[in-house]
Chain A
Amino acid sequence: MKKIDYAKVDWQDETLWLVRGKRDRLAKALPEWEALRDAASRIKLYSNSHLPELLEQFETRAIANGAVVHWAKDAAEYRQIIGDLLTSHGVRHFVKSKSMLSEECGLRPYLESLGIETVETDLGERIIQLLGSRPSHIVLPAIHVKREEVGALFEKEMGTEPGNSDPTYLTHAARRNLREHFLHADAAMTGANFAVASTGEIVVCTNEGNADMGTSIPPLQIAAFGIDKIVPDRESLGVFTRLLARTATGQPITTYTTHYSAPRKGSEFHIVIVDNGRSSILADREHFRLLNCLRCGGCMNTCPVYRRIGGYAYSYFIPGPVGINLGMQADPKKHKGNLSACTLCHSCSVLCPAKVDLADQIYRSRQHYATSARKKLISKGMTFVMNEPWRLNAALGVAPLGMRVLKGLGFSWGKGRAFPDIPSPKKTKR
């Protein structure tokens, strides 16, 4: 068993709990909060069951706005489309803001293999890129990194003062460093929080404004989104923007909510619409509600297991309750081990702004995929005993002595927890 750094576990748990606390205060300040969640869930169920119409409507509007629309059925097509766009435009320096879709599809390594310098411009994601690591949270990718570690990293990468880990100082250093990249970029890319069918707009919610900075200069802009990001119109968009930042980071709204519709004068705007397995999720009776997910990360902040083990304990690149479920959709054999990282406390399901039945989905996946031989053995043993009352009676007859023997031999229910006392059975009153 790996040795656990309990101080770091507590630090991470407290940090994420603070975010959950901020979310709670804002959620409880809106009398219509639960009605908003209901509306969000219903709009998502509507849009995900009307994808052909809404996506085509989006495409028509986007083309009318002057954008070029591409369709990618999987990660390979997504990479190819973007790679071809960049090479055909002679792009050498490329800036991109955070996009979980690009992580999902392995965009950065692919572009680097083509010799295109790719710079992440969101601060957290930039830290992760410089560390050569992967995000441990979908909204707060570097939440597990302490500021002292950032100080040491920036000292090496940007020549900041040795030992200075003042957040303001480090942010200014990152800003200076990123500005150089913004000024010299040949192309810029964003993901999308939402795509509005009725207007053909891409909506990007950020706090730093770096996505906007990146897309303001170069002659080529790309935006890519998964088909589940579609919302019918601006009215429904309002429901989601009210829920998103409140749940994700405990802010009423993100600092910047940018609507991209048309290319800037003299530039090109390309939009890539990606499936990559989403339509199979939609076809899955037990899991289609996963497509309701807004990628707010709220389920991570509230998950008592995630807060303690952190994102790297999961095999899939998206951790926490939604990551457990998305991993099972992507490759169940590879990611079934994550199913054990859940007590079925249902906090995620009750908190989710779009009402994804996260805990129930974990329960259902457990029925199809076993996570450990030990659990299987215990479960089968229990079933055997319980199938006949006389077996249960016999087991309970020997249990008090058995437990005393186990305790006497120094066994425990895991390190740090004693076995329960089992009282001697008495005649049950009938």
Chain B
Amino acid sequence: MKVALFVPCYVRAVAPQVMDACRKLLQHFGIEAETPPGQTCCGQPMGNAGYEANAEHLKQRFTRIFEHYDTIVAPSSSCVTFVRDRYGDTFKGRIYEFCEFLHDVVKPASLPGEFPHKVSLHNSCHGTRLLSLASPSEQNIPYFNKLRDLLSLKAGVEVVECERPDECCGFGGLFSVEESQISIKMGQDKVRRHLATGAEFITAADSSCLMHQQGIIDRQKLPIRTIHLLEILAAGL
């Protein structure tokens, strides 16, 4: 099996180690990975801000780069949702969020290495409500959480979820700039709830939520850190 790695622009900028984790995991499972050159941005931040029309050129670039691959994976719920829903039918059924791909396609039975820490699982809005990585708290459907399932494969890790387990952390793309006071208040509330679990780490499948919460943690010098879920899964590989 061969997959194309879609490198979200903000992951490349602020959390390049997450792409290393992706590659390690794919290699571990014997999946050939290619990172097509010339990637920039899928247009998601522009779309959410109201400027999807300006991102037409980006969408054409993205389509040119990825249209010949059968399977595309990326560590970002928001970007994957955007490409799935806003590119017509071009990528429907063949683009996956990285954890979704691991859980639904690779279906690993075990993972080597250990991560002997208590982590508070952050269920991102787009991962939960748009990609069904977990059961949304609003709905009356049986509980499931693909992220928790994946974490359970790692020895030593203790997973907890905070109060209001899928309330938005307040990042929201350019919301964090345009409505920064509310964004920060939401982030402070979220981090406080993660802290209350007694976890050492906040983990999520989305670097954007983690970047925002790490900004709150740094400013308040709080005794908790953020770590991407894939870094935990790749620990020791």
Binding site for B on A (CB under 8 A): 1, 4, 6, 9, 13, 17, 24, 27-28, 30-31, 33-34, 302, 304-305, 308-309, 339-347, 349-351, 363, 366-372, 374-376, 378-380, 382-383, 385-389, 392, 396, 399, 412-423, 425-426, 428-430
Known: A343-B170, A370-B50, A376-B51. A420 touches B215 (CB 8 A): yes
In whole angstroms, what is the CA distance A135 to B163 when docked?
30
Query: CB of B219 within 8 A of chain A?
Result: yes
Known: A34-B139, A386-B58, A389-B40. A417 touches B216 (CB 8 A): yes
Can you list 17 A-B contacts (CB < 8 A)?
A4-B185, A9-B185, A339-B50, A343-B168, A343-B186, A345-B125, A346-B125, A346-B129, A367-B51, A372-B178, A382-B45, A386-B40, A388-B40, A392-B41, A414-B184, A418-B216, A429-B23
Contact between chains at B185 and A308 (CB < 8 Å) = yes
The residue from A13, A30, A340, A421 contacting B179, defined by CB atoms under 8 A apart: A340
Known: A367-B53, A383-B55. A343 touches B41 (CB 8 A): no
The residue from A34, A346, A371, A396 contacting B13, defined by CB atoms under 8 A apart: A396
Contact between chains at A304 and B50 (CB < 8 Å) = no
In whole angstroms, what is the CA distance A414 to B176 when docked?
8
Known: A341-B179, A389-B39. A350 touches B136 (CB 8 A): yes
In whole angstroms, what is the CA distance A33 to B183 when docked?
32
Tell me which residues across on chain A come within 8 A of B171, comparing CB atoms.
Answer: 343
In whole angstroms, what is the CA distance A197 to B187 when docked?
48
Give the interface centre of B168, B188, B212, B218 by most chain A CB atoms within 10 Å: B168
Known: A340-B179, A374-B178. A302 touches B138 (CB 8 A): yes
Tell me which residues across on chain B come within 8 A of A350, comparing CB atoms.
Answer: 129, 136, 138-139
Q: Across chains A and B, which 3 residue pairs bring their CB atoms closest together, nearest first?
A: A343-B172, A414-B180, A366-B50
Contact between chains at B178 and A345 (CB < 8 Å) = no
Tell me which residues across on chain B come within 8 A of A30, comparing CB atoms.
Answer: 140
Who on chain A is nearest to B174 by CB? A375
Query: CB of B12 within 8 A of chain A?
Result: yes
The residue from A1, A369, A371, A416 contacting B178, defined by CB atoms under 8 A apart: A371
A16 to nearest B CB, angstroms? 12
In whole angstroms, what is the CA distance A341 to B182 when docked?
9
Contact between chains at B140 and A34 (CB < 8 Å) = yes
Number of interface residues of B (CB under 8 A): 71
Tell me which residues across on chain A come within 8 A of B52, comparing CB atoms.
Answer: 367
Query: CB of B30 within 8 A of chain A?
Result: no
8 Å CB contacts to A: which residues of B31-82? 35, 37-41, 45-55, 57-58, 61
In whole angstroms, what is the CA distance A376 to B52 when docked?
12
Binding site for A on B (CB under 8 A): 7, 9, 12-14, 16-17, 19, 23, 35, 37-41, 45-55, 57-58, 61, 125-126, 129-130, 136-141, 164, 166-168, 170-189, 211-212, 214-216, 218-220
In whole angstroms, what is the CA distance A414 to B172 when docked?
14
A243 to nearest B CB, angstroms? 12
Give the interface centre of A302, A304, A387, A392 by most chain B CB atoms within 10 Å: A304
Contact between chains at B125 and A343 (CB < 8 Å) = yes
Contact between chains at A423 and B16 (CB < 8 Å) = yes
Tell me which residues across on chain B come within 8 A of A379, comparing CB atoms.
Answer: 45-46, 49-51, 54, 174
Tell me which residues across on chain A come within 8 A of B37, comparing CB atoms.
Answer: 389, 430
In whole angstroms, what is the CA distance A342 to B37 when docked?
34
Contact between chains at A420 and B211 (CB < 8 Å) = yes
